[in-house]
Amino acid sequence: MQRPPIDPQQAQVFGRPHGVAGSFAGAAQRRRDPRMVSAPPPDPALAQAFGRPPGAQASLQRGAPETVGPTELAESDPWRDARSGARPGPPALGEDTEPEAEPGPPTAKLGARELLLGSRVRPSALAALVVLALAVGAIGGLVGRGTADVTSALTDANVTLAQVDDGAAPPANGVAATAAAVLPSVVSVEVRAGDTGGSGSGVVIDGGGYIVTNNHVISQAATNPSGATLDVVFSDGTRQRAQIVGRDTKTDLAVLRATTPNLTVAQLGRSNQLNVGDPVIAIGSPLGLAGTVTTGIISAKQRPVRLSGDGTDTDAVIDALQTDAAINPGNSGGPLVDYEGRVVGINSAIRTSGGDSGGSIGLGFAIPVDQVTAVAQEIIRTGSMRHPTIGVNVRSVTDGSTDGAAVANVQDGSAAARAGLAEGDVIVQVGDRTIAGAEELTVAIQERTIGEPVPLRVVRAGRTIDIQVTPDSD
């Protein structure tokens, strides 16, 4: 046999110490050899727990059966039969001594009924269950397909809402001619749910039958689709069942669709071209009186107004146009137009003096048409609307000379958190717009674009700092 050479380094580590010829070195040799380390004495606690009792000499190794008598075996190991002798067992591996068993007859394969149900269901009942499952799946598929078809039938990705620039010549007869031109595009919106109902106004903004109105006008029909009806009544008295294309609770806008031929479509103007003092006309159905026309002027622009109320899920802050044109309950959703017949806003809210007075006192508010166009077009194309958000809760504060929006808390992982905004910061400017309170901050952020950086001016511990934040989608 040829043995491979031994590595000298391994021989030094694993070989016998110098001068040792046997398996173990003696005590004297172990003391001389530095590589031999004596085991430390056992821990006293372990020795007391696991060591032999004092004075015991018994070994763990037993004697052979022929040298130890049966009585001694029984006394030392009561679990062993002292009369049985030790016998060698069979080898662990060896040649097979037993013949192989002959294979039996083939067994029947398990079917689905035996495997799943343990043969406890009759074949006829199993077949009925299969047919029922197929029927349920088919019905579910038809319902899903129908829902998808309805949604896709209401939206249209090719619609682009056009806005008319300033410069067109006003009608020759002023208010009368303007009202006559716009009234055919204005509708009354009626919602009924059992014994209750409500009404508002709307305006046709596209020839495909798209009508814009306020969300709070139709929210009862949207939240109770099976128990409420939604109709629109055109200026000629034609009544048509309408469907909700989509709605946006954060701007109080909704888009309906009614498939009626030969619709008159209103022109959409540009609210950013308006000036305070410009004359305007409000058209709608106040208190159910369809085709009502009132006149006034633009009293203010960029007036932050919060919209909410009982019986509606609207929770909006709009950057409103303020007007003194008479607006009353039922005008909501109707158009505010300029003297050239272009829609410049959607009438949405009024402010009253309280008490029993719920009518107009010359403080009406409309959603600017620039925002209406953007929201309505997105709803028509996709069925929903997304808004930019920075992820903070704020409250209005003032120190007597400067107003702002104080950060109450910052949401984890939000755009504000990434930008470094902290609780106690007071936001006083967004871009070029001065922030006077919490509601103004909301509308200032909503005017921005998702994913586009926005500069903020913040007062922190008496010092003014500039922070850049990139809004996320809500």
Q: How far is CA 439 from CA 89, 277, 405, 433, in A?
A: 92, 24, 8, 13
d(CA 110, CA 422): 67
Q: How far is CA 450 from CA 278, 429, 460, in A?
A: 32, 18, 26
Select which of 185, 199, 216, 425 is catalytic: 216
d(CA 192, CA 45): 88
The residue written with tokens 């030392």 in the block is 76
Q: Indicate if 332 belongs to the active site.
A: yes
- Give the 3-state secondary structure of residue 407: strand
d(CA 349, CA 347): 6
The residue written with tokens 């609770």 in the block is 249
Q: How far is CA 69 from CA 79, 261, 304, in A?
A: 16, 117, 108
And the tokens for 385?
Answer: 């609307």
Q: Indicate if 59 belongs to the active site.
A: no
297, 368, 285, 299: which is closest to 332 by C-alpha?
285
Select which of 231, 252, 370, 425 is catalytic: 252
Q: Indicate if 18 belongs to the active site.
A: no
Burial profile 40-71: b = 16 or more Cβ within 10 angstroms, e = fewer: eeeeeeeeeeeeeeeeeeeeeeeeeeeeeeee
Can you point out the beta strands (E) in 234-277?
A: 239-241, 243-248, 253-257, 267-268
d(CA 265, CA 126): 60
CB 120 within 8 A of CB 114: no
d(CA 410, CA 449): 20
The residues carrying an active-site annotation are 216, 252, 332
